[in-house]
Structure 1
Amino acid sequence: MQTSPIVLSVIGAIVIILAGVLGFAVFPNVVEKTIEKELRLLKGSDTWNKWADIEAPIYLNFYIFNVTNADEVIESQGLVMPKLQELGPYAYRQRRQKIDPRSECRNPSTCKQTVKYEQNVTYFFDQEKSGDLSEDDIVNVVNLPLIAVIKMAEGLIAGLVPPGSPPGTADQFLAIIGNLVNTEHLIKKDVRVGDVTFAGWDVSSFLALKALESMLPGVIIEFPSEFDGFRFGVYKGRNGTTDGEFEVYSGTKAASQFGQIKNWNGSPSLTYWNSSKCNALTGTDGSIFPPFLEKENPIVIFNTDLCRTLELTFKEERTVQDLKAYRFAPSRQLLQGPDQNPENMCYCLRENTTECRSGIIDVSVCRNGAPIILSTPHFLDGFEGFSLAMGLEPSREKHETTIDIEHRTGLLLEAHKRIQVNVEVKRKYVAQFANVTDDGMLFPILWVDEEAAISEVDVEDFKDRVESPIKTINIVRWVFMAIGIALVLVAIIVFVACRKSKSKSHV
């Protein structure tokens, strides 16, 4: 009679041990190995096909800053601060296709560890998502081409004026240039939104500067590449183009390397900044991530718009289309000025380091000298003087960059990459902005929200291939754990019952 509870307890213990070993060690390890095997950029694989031709909806949403007091700003020559009205979103759907993605990979055990590719991005205006807004809407915006030409002229004049020239000689030359383009003003009025974004507006008035070639023998006026076709747009030349050639690790040797950048345009590092740390080329391109992310470890992205890598830290857990996600966002220290974060000194290329304020990145170093300053929208977490002067209202919910990732697979579930394009305006010896304040202005022209979200089809595919097996394993291991515990409990009950029965039989 005593053999039965012993057998039951032994069987129960074996079931509990097997449930623990298989459910908490073996099966999860099998799932992990399966994820690692799936997340490889092997030509012909499902991962490769979805990566090479991204079908998930991606939008570039433009928010234009319309200057409502344009005439006052123009007439005051920059003395009156502009009043800004935000218009948007003007939504453009993206199509992303890899051009000639290639690797010498036929067998995972012998293949090359990297994949080379360029990514062609094409934009299409989406009227439905834009609502009542249209590319034909008319706005007044800061005249970025004028500011760029004046800056170009300053460099030209600096090379022409010999040392020892009378004071003001350079200013006189600059005044001549301002007069040659006297039809242009600090604010460009009545511009189509479609011309501000991709099509470009007419800048043929700057051809008047060619007169300098006859006035100054030996001088040749070469306009910036952004003036090609004598039309200028903030995103002109970027529709149907690429951001250069990437070489990334395929993940065939180590899952942790999946998507990590090895080279960009043939180089393992950047050359823009003042230290090897800031020039380090690390992370992914922001569309794919390695699996098994931990909250303690930041994700790293190389952003070609900002010409640098960015670290995003864990912010919170959230749910995206019924899937658990880790949200990552830039820390406040990321874009702090060197006065607050000395580690960012290498991004400050100015002689006067106090001009390197928080929340902004001077990208003129990688934009052929164009006076473009990128920042967070509405200068979120940046120098308060910028947003207060323009009447902007930064909001973390609306203006913060966020990336939501399924942490086990590194699958991108939702992303909002938000960047503002600004122009630095300083007082110059030209009539157009002779009254700009001594400190100058950081004048926003627009901000963009690059929005991506996993499709419903991919959600269902993820659930079938990852969630369902994991749920099944969880159910099975707890069922067997419960069976084992039940057998042990039954054995105890039987044992106790037998002891009582035996005690009664002796009475």
Structure 2
Amino acid sequence: MGGRSRAHWVATGLGVLGLLLAALGAVMMVMVPSLIKQQVLKNVRIDPNSLSFSMWKEIPVPFYLSVYFFHVSNPDEILKGEKPQVEERGPYVYREFRHKTNITFNPNDTVSFVEFRSFQFQPDKSKGSENDYIVLPNVLVLGAAVMMENQPMSLKLFLTLALTTMGQRAFMNRTVGEIMWGYEDPFVNLISKYYPDMFPIKGKFGLFAGMNNSYSGVFTVFTGVQNFSRIHLVDKWNGLTKVNYWRSDQCNMINGTSGQMWAPFMTPKYSLEFYSPDACRSMKLVYHESRVFEGIPTYRFVAPKTLFANGSVYPPNEGFCPCLESGIQNVSSCRSGAPLFLSHPHFYNADPTLSEAVLGLRPDPKEHSLFLDVHPVTGIPMNCSVKLQLSLYMKSVKGIGQTGKIQPVVLPLLWFGQSGAMQGEPLRTFYTQLVLMPTVLHYAQYVLLALGGLLLLVPVIFLIRSQEKCYLFWSGSKKGSQDKEAIQAYSESLMSPAAKGTVLQEAKL
């Protein structure tokens, strides 16, 4: 009896434990998703107490700027009217540093800041040095020629004389460092004298001169503390709710975020929209596929084919015109009127006539497409590679001798890729707190339910087995008494005399 009593209490205890575990698992199934959502909302908003605030303030991801130049192999032949031939040189890689300053929280649930950027050359990652010489179109000369095409002939002849006096030619041979960060040029001094607001840097001209040791303008974005539905969206840029570079309100709108974080809890139906001061416009990327980056699930977003399409192919882009072939965007309106165009590298996703007009271009979706890999639960980018090309529209302009017989062409100057991937301690912290722990909690609820269910079976099985033993005991006792009665009756029949008339049969051997 003592052993059975102990087994009874053990089975009861395991049953109670199973009930508690199952109840805990059920409560977790209801509460865990809500807790995870609350933690994500708390930690992705722009708040000094949030987990992501330090990442937002000073991006821990190492960003790199890789620049590829299109060295012109036949400048003399181009001046005679032949097709341009280019050779890609690079990459010339720079470490990009970003940090936010003048952070000011406003009463309307927004925060204002400026982001400082600087670049340092990385010789070990580059294929060449900043002292390499590259032959490129002289943007100042050929750009000015196109800009003055419709001016009086006398003015164009004066420009030709001035350029000749200063030794300016249609093509230049300068170092990578000069092309990137600027060089002294008498023509720049002349233009700055009469048009002081044309160039941001006086006395120097460089394609990236305005980016190094510079600020990206004053962004004002929503923090998400009071109204989560607008988290990270840009409210104003430099005090403006829209720009005035383009010909339609839709194209001038400042949409999306500042390009560093997006709203959490994404689905494949979402798109990534952000405002780029360098492109002077808002851009939208679309969902492409689900991926995994260093154990972290991500959504990959890519540029749609309509990003740089012209108005005839994609009517909403009509406001970015005047346009040429589809696949390149005219950015002259935000580049002091210079005939510059933005596109994907090698005119990828553009009208084939553009790449066919220049020898040496090979558009490749693997090499020249851009993407962002974003963790959909938090909206934080894990891995990105944004690739863009800058090109110059050039042609022979009557009255400006430096342009020779150049046939109209959009000639690529360079393309660059800005890339970065989360790694090291920030990646481990992110994975542990925002991926591993939620995953553990998610599976723990099912483990508790399963274990609780198994433990609940213990008292049930014990009860069933106990009932079986009782049944066998009682049925065994009843059968034993019936046998005894039968044996006793048989014995009594043997002891009594045979009835009259009964024939005793002889046993046969």
Q: Deviations over 1:418-465 (max 9, x none)?
A: 11011111331122334233xx21111001101111131101111232
Are 1:225 and 2:225 counterparts?
no
Are 1:204 and 2:152 counterparts?
no
Are 1:376 and 2:344 counterparts?
yes
Are 1:482 and 2:446 counterparts?
no
Q: Deviations over 1:119-140 (max 9, x none)?
A: 111111111211x410000110
* Counterpart contact for 1:180–1:208, Cα < 8 Å: no
* Counterpart contact for 1:295–1:314, Cα < 8 Å: yes
Mapping of residues 116-131 of structure 1, within 5 Å:
116-130=112-126
SS at match of 2:61: strand
In the alignment, structure 2 segments of 5+ residues that lack a partner are 477-509
The verdict on how the C-alpha distance between 1:236 and 1:295 changes in structure 2, with shifts beyond 3 A counting, is same
The verdict on how the C-alpha distance between 1:145 and 1:486 changes in structure 2, with shifts beyond 3 A counting, is same
Q: How many angstroms apart in 2 are the aligned matches of 1:483 and 1:208?
A: 82
SS at match of 1:481: helix
The structure having more radius of gyration, on CA atoms, is 2
The residue that corresponds to 1:144 in the other structure is 139
* 1:152 shift after superposition: 4.4
Which residue type is aligned with residue 354 of structure 2? F
SS at match of 1:282: coil
The residue that corresponds to 2:257 in the other structure is 284
Question: Aligned to 1:421, which of 390, 402, 405?
Answer: 390
The verdict on how the C-alpha distance between 1:69 and 1:118 changes in structure 2, with shifts beyond 3 A counting, is same
Q: How many angstroms apart in 2 are the aligned matches of 1:343 and 1:112?
A: 32
The residue that corresponds to 2:278 in the other structure is 305
* 1:187 shift after superposition: 1.9
Judge which range, 223-232 or 235-244, deviates more. Answer: 223-232
The residue that corresponds to 1:191 in the other structure is 174
Which residue type is aligned with residue 80 of structure 1? E
SS at match of 1:90: strand
The residue that corresponds to 2:370 in the other structure is 401
Are 1:133 and 2:128 counterparts?
yes
SS at match of 1:422: strand
Which residue type is aligned with residue 33 of structure 2? P
The residue that corresponds to 2:425 in the other structure is 457
Which residue type is aligned with residue 148 of structure 1? G
Question: Aligned to 2:214, which of 225, 230, 241?
Answer: 241
Are 1:327 and 2:300 counterparts?
yes
Q: How many angstroms apart in 1 are the aligned matches of 2:363 and 2:350?
A: 9
Q: How many angstroms apart in 1 are the aligned matches of 2:343 and 2:112?
A: 30
The residue that corresponds to 2:25 in the other structure is 19
* 1:151 shift after superposition: 3.8
The residue that corresponds to 1:261 in the other structure is 234
The verdict on how the C-alpha distance between 1:489 and 1:187 changes in structure 2, with shifts beyond 3 A counting, is farther
SS at match of 2:274: strand
SS at match of 1:181: helix
* Counterpart contact for 1:306–1:361, Cα < 8 Å: no
Judge which range, 484-493 or 62-71, deviates more. Answer: 484-493
The verdict on how the C-alpha distance between 1:396 and 1:499 changes in structure 2, with shifts beyond 3 A counting, is farther
* Counterpart contact for 1:73–1:187, Cα < 8 Å: no
The verdict on how the C-alpha distance between 1:176 and 1:398 changes in structure 2, with shifts beyond 3 A counting, is same
SS at match of 1:365: helix
SS at match of 2:143: helix
* Counterpart contact for 2:74–2:85, Cα < 8 Å: yes
SS at match of 2:265: coil
Relative to the length of structure 1, the TM-score reads 0.83
Q: How many angstroms apart in 2 are the aligned matches of 1:98 and 1:8?
A: 58
Aligned-pair Cα RMSD in Å: 2.9
* Counterpart contact for 2:188–2:205, Cα < 8 Å: no
Which residue type is aligned with residue 314 of structure 1? Y
SS at match of 2:62: strand
The verdict on how the C-alpha distance between 1:13 and 1:153 changes in structure 2, with shifts beyond 3 A counting, is same
SS at match of 2:252: coil
* Counterpart contact for 2:386–2:418, Cα < 8 Å: yes
Q: Deviations over 1:286-339 (max 9, x none)?
A: 112222122111111111121111111111122222222111111112322222
In the alignment, structure 1 segments of 5+ residues that lack a partner are 105-110, 158-169, 211-219
Which residue type is aligned with residue 196 of structure 1? I
Judge which range, 418-427 or 228-237, deviates more. Answer: 228-237
Which residue type is aligned with residue 179 of structure 2? V
Are 1:84 and 2:64 counterparts?
no
Mapping of residues 101-180 of structure 1, within 5 Å:
101-104=103-106, 112-130=108-126, 132-154=127-149, 157=151, 170-180=152-162
Q: How many angstroms apart in 1 are the aligned matches of 2:469 and 2:309?
A: 79
SS at match of 1:278: helix
Q: How many angstroms apart in 2 are the aligned matches of 1:44 and 1:19?
A: 31
The residue that corresponds to 1:161 in the other structure is none
The verdict on how the C-alpha distance between 1:13 and 1:357 changes in structure 2, with shifts beyond 3 A counting, is farther
SS at match of 1:56: coil
SS at match of 1:80: coil
Q: How many angstroms apart in 1 are the aligned matches of 2:444 and 2:239?
A: 50
* 1:65 shift after superposition: 0.6
* 1:15 shift after superposition: 4.6
Which residue type is aligned with residue 276 of structure 1? D
* 1:490 shift after superposition: 4.8
Identity of aligned residues (%): 25
SS at match of 2:225: coil
